[in-house]
Amino acid sequence: MTGAIALLVVTLAMTLLTGPAQAARRDPDGRYKGSLSYPLAVDSGPVTFRIARDGKRLTKWRATFTAVCNYDPYVALTTVTLPTTKIRRDGTFRGVVRTTHNGKVLKLTVTGQLRGKRVTKGRINYDIGSCSRKANWTARRVGA
Protein backbone atom coordinates (compact mmCIF):
# COMPACT_ATOMS: atom_id res chain seq x y z
CA MET A 1 0.00 0.00 0.00
CA THR A 2 2.86 2.38 0.73
CA GLY A 3 4.13 1.97 -2.87
CA ALA A 4 0.75 3.01 -4.23
CA ILE A 5 0.65 6.03 -1.94
CA ALA A 6 4.18 7.02 -2.98
CA LEU A 7 3.19 6.74 -6.67
CA LEU A 8 0.11 8.89 -6.03
CA VAL A 9 2.22 11.53 -4.24
CA VAL A 10 4.78 11.60 -7.08
CA THR A 11 2.02 11.86 -9.71
CA LEU A 12 0.31 14.67 -7.79
CA ALA A 13 3.63 16.53 -7.36
CA MET A 14 4.41 16.22 -11.09
CA THR A 15 0.96 17.56 -11.98
CA LEU A 16 1.39 20.54 -9.66
CA LEU A 17 4.88 21.30 -10.98
CA THR A 18 4.04 21.01 -14.67
CA GLY A 19 0.59 22.63 -14.53
CA PRO A 20 -2.71 21.21 -15.68
CA ALA A 21 -2.75 18.83 -18.60
CA GLN A 22 -3.68 20.65 -21.78
CA ALA A 23 -5.14 19.26 -24.95
CA ALA A 24 -2.68 19.07 -27.80
CA ARG A 25 -2.83 22.45 -29.55
CA ARG A 26 -2.72 22.54 -33.30
CA ASP A 27 0.18 24.70 -34.34
CA PRO A 28 -1.16 27.14 -36.96
CA ASP A 29 2.11 28.63 -38.21
CA GLY A 30 3.18 27.95 -41.77
CA ARG A 31 2.08 28.39 -45.39
CA TYR A 32 -1.57 28.32 -46.41
CA LYS A 33 -3.30 27.91 -49.75
CA GLY A 34 -6.91 28.29 -50.69
CA SER A 35 -9.25 29.94 -53.14
CA LEU A 36 -11.98 32.47 -53.61
CA SER A 37 -15.30 30.81 -54.21
CA TYR A 38 -17.46 33.28 -56.09
CA PRO A 39 -20.48 32.06 -58.06
CA LEU A 40 -18.93 33.34 -61.28
CA ALA A 41 -15.94 31.13 -62.10
CA VAL A 42 -14.10 34.08 -63.65
CA ASP A 43 -14.05 35.84 -60.24
CA SER A 44 -12.59 32.81 -58.48
CA GLY A 45 -8.87 32.53 -57.90
CA PRO A 46 -6.06 31.32 -55.65
CA VAL A 47 -5.27 32.70 -52.20
CA THR A 48 -1.93 32.26 -50.43
CA PHE A 49 -0.54 33.56 -47.13
CA ARG A 50 1.55 32.70 -44.08
CA ILE A 51 0.81 32.57 -40.38
CA ALA A 52 3.75 33.82 -38.30
CA ARG A 53 5.51 31.46 -35.92
CA ASP A 54 3.74 32.94 -32.88
CA GLY A 55 0.33 32.37 -34.53
CA LYS A 56 -0.66 36.01 -33.97
CA ARG A 57 0.02 37.50 -37.40
CA LEU A 58 -1.11 36.79 -40.93
CA THR A 59 1.52 37.82 -43.48
CA LYS A 60 1.97 37.84 -47.26
CA TRP A 61 -1.77 37.42 -47.98
CA ARG A 62 -2.23 37.43 -51.75
CA ALA A 63 -5.16 36.71 -54.05
CA THR A 64 -5.33 36.71 -57.82
CA PHE A 65 -8.64 36.91 -59.64
CA THR A 66 -10.26 38.41 -62.68
CA ALA A 67 -12.38 41.39 -61.67
CA VAL A 68 -15.40 41.69 -63.92
CA CYS A 69 -17.58 44.79 -63.81
CA ASN A 70 -20.78 45.20 -65.69
CA TYR A 71 -20.93 48.92 -64.97
CA ASP A 72 -17.94 50.28 -66.91
CA PRO A 73 -17.58 47.51 -68.50
CA TYR A 74 -14.29 46.61 -66.91
CA VAL A 75 -12.32 43.36 -66.88
CA ALA A 76 -8.87 42.99 -65.34
CA LEU A 77 -6.66 40.30 -63.93
CA THR A 78 -6.02 41.62 -60.44
CA THR A 79 -3.52 40.53 -57.79
CA VAL A 80 -4.05 42.05 -54.38
CA THR A 81 -1.96 41.82 -51.24
CA LEU A 82 -2.60 42.73 -47.62
CA PRO A 83 -0.18 44.21 -45.15
CA THR A 84 0.64 42.11 -42.07
CA THR A 85 -2.62 41.62 -40.20
CA LYS A 86 -3.10 40.84 -36.51
CA ILE A 87 -4.95 37.66 -35.55
CA ARG A 88 -7.09 38.14 -32.44
CA ARG A 89 -7.19 35.62 -29.59
CA ASP A 90 -10.43 34.12 -30.92
CA GLY A 91 -8.73 33.52 -34.30
CA THR A 92 -10.54 36.26 -36.22
CA PHE A 93 -8.75 38.79 -38.39
CA ARG A 94 -9.60 41.75 -40.61
CA GLY A 95 -7.28 43.44 -43.07
CA VAL A 96 -7.95 46.46 -45.26
CA VAL A 97 -5.92 47.89 -48.12
CA ARG A 98 -6.52 50.87 -50.36
CA THR A 99 -4.44 51.35 -53.49
CA THR A 100 -4.77 51.98 -57.21
CA HIS A 101 -4.74 49.46 -60.04
CA ASN A 102 -4.45 50.65 -63.65
CA GLY A 103 -5.51 54.12 -62.54
CA LYS A 104 -8.58 52.91 -60.67
CA VAL A 105 -8.96 53.11 -56.90
CA LEU A 106 -8.99 49.67 -55.29
CA LYS A 107 -10.32 48.99 -51.82
CA LEU A 108 -10.05 45.49 -50.44
CA THR A 109 -11.31 44.14 -47.11
CA VAL A 110 -10.43 40.61 -46.06
CA THR A 111 -11.87 38.86 -43.02
CA GLY A 112 -11.65 35.33 -41.73
CA GLN A 113 -11.25 33.07 -38.74
CA LEU A 114 -8.31 30.79 -38.08
CA ARG A 115 -9.45 27.45 -36.63
CA GLY A 116 -6.59 25.04 -36.11
CA LYS A 117 -4.92 24.70 -39.50
CA ARG A 118 -7.82 26.06 -41.56
CA VAL A 119 -9.39 29.41 -42.28
CA THR A 120 -13.16 29.43 -42.04
CA LYS A 121 -15.66 32.24 -42.57
CA GLY A 122 -13.28 33.86 -45.04
CA ARG A 123 -14.80 36.81 -46.84
CA ILE A 124 -13.31 39.19 -49.39
CA ASN A 125 -14.95 42.46 -50.35
CA TYR A 126 -13.37 44.38 -53.20
CA ASP A 127 -14.24 47.67 -54.83
CA ILE A 128 -12.49 48.64 -58.06
CA GLY A 129 -13.70 51.85 -59.59
CA SER A 130 -17.46 51.43 -59.89
CA CYS A 131 -17.29 47.65 -59.47
CA SER A 132 -17.68 45.89 -56.15
CA ARG A 133 -18.08 42.26 -55.24
CA LYS A 134 -18.13 40.07 -52.18
CA ALA A 135 -16.91 36.49 -52.18
CA ASN A 136 -16.18 33.74 -49.69
CA TRP A 137 -12.77 32.11 -49.46
CA THR A 138 -11.22 29.22 -47.60
CA ALA A 139 -7.69 28.00 -47.02
CA ARG A 140 -5.75 25.31 -45.22
CA ARG A 141 -2.19 24.85 -44.11
CA VAL A 142 0.07 23.07 -46.60
CA GLY A 143 3.19 21.12 -45.79
CA ALA A 144 4.34 19.99 -42.38
Dump pLDDT digits (tens) for 30-89.
999 998 876 655 567 899 999 998 889 999 999 887 776 666 666 667 788 889 999 999
Q: Is residue 22 part of a domain?
A: no
Q: Decide: pTM greater than 0.85.
A: no
Nearest 5°: phi and psi at 103? Answer: 80, -5
Number of domain units in the chain:
1
Buried/exposed 38-59: b ≥16 CB within 10 Å, e otherwise: beeeebebebbbbbeeebeebe
Summarize pLDDT for 75-112 with one digit per residue, the tens. Answer: 667 788 889 999 999 999 999 988 776 777 778 899 99
Q: Is the pLDDT of residue 27 over 80?
A: no
What's the pLDDT score for residue 7? 43
Q: Is residue 5 part of a domain?
A: no
Q: Is residue 107 part of a domain?
A: yes
Q: Over 53-94, what HEC string results?
A: CCCCEEEEEEEEEEEEECCCCEEEEEEEECCCEECCCCCEEE
Q: Is residue 10 part of a domain?
A: no
CATH code: domain of residue 33? 2.40.128.120
Identify the domain containing residue 51 by its residue range. 27-142
